[in-house]
């Protein structure tokens, strides 16, 4: 994790580790593709390419996903006309 201008940035694995709750690196990358999580391509000190994600945005997305109703709502079954 690195801090730039007061914001924490990390790789997908670092973000997943910080958030926990079953979040994986693949989940963080998926949020960048589908949910507009800010991602920046950088180069580390050894010259290897990497992608860093904004931790604050990832936390907001995770919270929204955790509290969202997943899947389609199903009709309630009735028995003998009773709810």
Task: Output the CA–CA distances (angstroms, integers) from residue 5 to 2, 9, 56, in the order listed.
Answer: 10, 10, 13
Domain range enclosing 22: 2-67
pTM comes to: 0.78
Q: Domain tally for the chain?
A: 1
Mean pLDDT on 29-56: 95
Neighbours of 30 (CB within 10 A): 13
Q: pLDDT per residue over 51-72, tens digit each?
A: 999 999 999 999 998 887 776 5
3-class secondary structure, 38: coil
pLDDT(13) > 90:
yes
Q: Is residue 22 part of a domain?
A: yes
More confident site: 2 or 68: 2
Q: Is residue 73 part of a domain?
A: no
Q: Is residue 79 part of a domain?
A: no
Give the CATH number of the domain where residue 8 resides. 1.10.10
**Which phi and psi angles does 21 have, rounded to 5°?**
50, 30
């Amino acid at each position: 994790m690195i801090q730039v201008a007061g914001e924490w940035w990390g790789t997908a694995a670092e973000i997943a580790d910080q958030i926990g709750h079953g979040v994986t690196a693949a989940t963080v990358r998926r949020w960048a593709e589908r949910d507009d999580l800010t991602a920046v391509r950088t180069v580390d000190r050894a010259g290897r390419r990497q992608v860093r994600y904004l931790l604050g945005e990832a936390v907001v997305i995770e919270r929204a996903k955790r509290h969202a109703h997943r899947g389609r709502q199903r009709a309630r079954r009735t028995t003998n006309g009773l709810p």
